[in-house]
Chain A
Amino acid sequence: MLRRTLLASAALGLGLSLASGAFAAGMDKVKACFVYVGPIGDGGWTYQHHQGALELQKAFGDKVEIAWQENVPEGADAERVLTQMALGGCNIIFTTSFGYMDATNAVAAKFPNVMFEHATGFKREHPNVSTYNARFYEGRAVQGYLAGKMTKSNKIGYIASFPIPEVIMGINSYYLNAKKANPNVELTVVWAFTWFDPAKEADAAKALIDSGVDVIASHTDSTAPLAEAAKSEGKVVGFGQASDMAEYKPSPRISSIIDNWGPYYVKRVGALLDGSYAQADAWEGISGGEVKIGEITEAVPADVKAEAEKIRDEIAAGTYHPFTGPINKQDGSPWLAEGQTAPDGDLLGMNFYVEGVTGDIPK
């Protein structure tokens, strides 16, 4: 194994001279490259990352050159694209999907002078690999509060994609904070088993609406659930996901979670330019600006809006944590004691519902 790796790095050594730059030296010009899992035109996850990249370009002008590749499948293709980018002179490469984790670390081993930043993962096997993520569950808490207050049927819904910690965390945060606002609230979760299938998302939203749900949050990427809610003439409301989805203001879109990667990209590339760059494990939320709560519209009563904004500000200030004990797991076993807040490790590996959520997580 070792021999193989050594040989591979020797073979690739040719390219290394191009990828100049070091940890602490500072640089005059940075080439920042981005690897996207979907098309920029998805209007959601990849679109928002690209917005961040454009913001980065704007912030530094001539000092930064950006390049990107859309629709990169996870696995072998990612490894090739990353290697091509590193060979092609990229100084820092942002890999924007969880599935790029192993490819990122594998390529990073061969290019010690290129910085790699992997979104939503946890592996940092080499000094030049950093990870970054956003605390979307903080936004879910604000949504949960709004959902609890806005529901008239006391039934709220959640369109989930795949049973992974990121999604389960969002469901739990949404539910706990809805429950806090309205003790009678019941949550229905529908698993779509897709990140992106607008027609199926619309069907899922319709299924929820027909079963009496009148507030819908979604963890899939398209605006289809909002469009479905719009057909109810104001009876059903929902939230923008990933992007603001402002075209559905003021109702059914009463607020949104915006993935806002720009500040992080500016910060990291800035650090590379001035020489202060260091390996990091960033998990920022509302306070760091990575999670933005889109405008709460006039469809929400003023007092509820004020309270929701207060929750948002308290989360940002660190005085409120969406997971604050006492919280039991779904089976009734204790998870967090009174006043205890959830450790990051528990959240990142979350594979259980909290008490009160019905149904099972698909296993």
Chain B
Amino acid sequence: MAIKCGLEIHQRLSGKKLFCNCPAHVEGLKSEGAFSRKLAAAKSELGKSDIAVSFEVAKEKTFEYSFSECSACLVEADEEPPHKLNEEALAVVVALCKSLGSALVDEVHVMRKLVIDGSNTTGFQRTAIVGTGGKLATSKGDVRISTVCIEEESCAIGEEGKTSFSLDRLGIPLIEIATEPDVVDAAHAKETALGIGTLLRMSNCVQRGIGTIRQDVNISVDGGNRVEIKGLQELGMMETLVQKEEQRQRKLAQIGEEVQKRSNGKFEIGEQKIVDVSEIFLESKCALVKKGMQAGGVVLGICVPFHAGLLGKEVYEGRRYGSEVSDYAKAAGVRGIIHSDEDMEKYGISEDEVTELRFALSCKKEDAFVLVVAKEKIAQAALSLALKRLEGAATLGETRRAHPDGSSSFMRPLAGGARMYPETDVEPIRIDEVLLKKAGKIKIESPEEKLAGLCKILPEHMAKRMLMSRNLGIFERIVEEGIAPLLAATVLEDTLVALRRENVAVERIDEERLIAVFEEYRSGKITKAAIGELLRAVANEPQKEMSALVREKGLAKISGVELATLVKAENAQLGAIMAKYRLRVDAAEVQKLLKKN
């Protein structure tokens, strides 16, 4: 059997936040205030706490939130109920539903999805289905759309041990497009994500830039449990991510089979006894253990039957099964585990200590062990969680966090539908004629139509590049400002990329500043050749006034009488003048003056 894979694409929309009137565009601002909160588990609608939720509660954390006044208000601080759902954002989602062929619901019901890792001040994310069904045509057949949702952005994707958050991005409207598991392989996953991303950009109502689009991947192998991997930002890593996950799930299945083989199908971790083995380490040279015990911690251990040699097995290159177990333990607040397939010498644990340890834990030859060093309560919780992972080596239903290199790590158990209940503070929104009319005004061209339009103003190869580029929207805006299309495209697609390769922080140049740079050129204040240098200067000092940057970097264009005087004085050839004043003079103008002379 092959893999089953579906995608969830989250894209930030432009305009205002979803449930208040704060702008949706601000990030990375200075913190102007802070507060701290605790989150308690509310019982789910079925009267039971959802598994993913209770997992977080086990951690009993205090979360710190910082905010800047212009990007967040009392709504984000959970000090004021949400206002009405942003109808402009809803109209965009309705328009996109139509272009995907999704059937609109007639009344949008906002739900609360419990997420108590601190990434939402409320302890839940507000989300609503706007459309269901529809499809995206791909080279490997249609990928069906299951749902199109509108939802609020969280403070951040919960990171390991993360307890401090900024409210800047909380509440930004997101469109979430979820596909059925019709994706057949890693390359197809990338193609599908790219296709949806392009469609989203066609609306011109979405935000651009790193972090404004995220791909979640749902994947299961050979009918095993589903794993959700959240927060992939770089589409370029999609294939690697899917490949690695496929590999991981297959490897886990193999490990599971091996355990069953060794145990004649009798392996069951059950209530494995957690043993305090601190005494063995009283004189230990192991720095990690010493430090932990000095801080009031204990060393707790468990025996893992039939697992000798398996914790060290790689699930994919650079990641061992032991790391998978460690991820679970970390959720309780420990920094990691020590397991028997690791190099004990590296830890400074002696052979005698290992022998004593194995004895204390009743470890047989075919068994492995796992240790944690922490305060007793935390250590207990950590090993209990590690046991959850060890229960069955096969893939567990998990939510995992995507890393930039295409690998992933465990976040929490996969949540069920049980963690949803209605957001009674927001009234249901009827999708009526007024809203449909508003959505109708949002023009979403098909990619083919868009390409045809671009080909009219750009050479074909550049038009194709522009179509797939996340800079498409800003390109169109720059062209509207009267800049030559080819120049705009070249600067966006080549100059900025080249600067990024030189490690210039081009992401610090926002849309307005980018347009201001083009304006400097259009109004004749700088030459075409200086655009790149000015962009570099803006990236380095994004707050500084444009005219000051031009002056300080010596980029002001020399022309007219000044240039004529210069040409006369230099009395040189075009080449010599250009070599000296490359960024400040226009070659055509110099040539003209030389001819005159």
A complexed with B: no
Query: Which A residues fall within an 8 A CB radius of B?
Result: none
B interface vs A, CB < 8 Å? none
